[in-house]
Amino acid sequence: MAIEVNQNVKIFFEVKVDGKVVDGTTSNKAFEFTFGVGQVIAGLEERIKDMQAGDSASFIVPAAEAYGEYNPQAKQVLPIEEVAGIPDLKVGMQLQGEDEEGQPIQVLVEEITDTEVTLDYNHPLAGKDMEYTVKIDSLL
Where do the domains of the chain lie, and which CATH numbers do they carry?
8-68+126-139 (3.10.50.40), 75-120 (2.40.10.330)
pLDDT band for position 134 (50/70/90)? very high
From the number of C-beta atoms within 10 Å of its C-beta (0-12, 13-18, 19+), residue 9 rates as buried
Helix (H, G, I), strand (E, B) or coil at 98: strand
Q: Give the tens place of pLDDT for each residue, 110-126.
A: 999 999 999 999 988 99
CA angle in degrees (0–180, nearest 5) for 9-10-14: 120
Q: Tell me if the pTM is above 0.85.
A: no
d(CA 97, CA 90): 17
Distances in Å between the alpha carbon of 87 and those of 91, 93, 99? 13, 11, 22
Range 92-117 average pLDDT: 88
- Residue 112: phi and psi, rounded to 5, are -130, 130
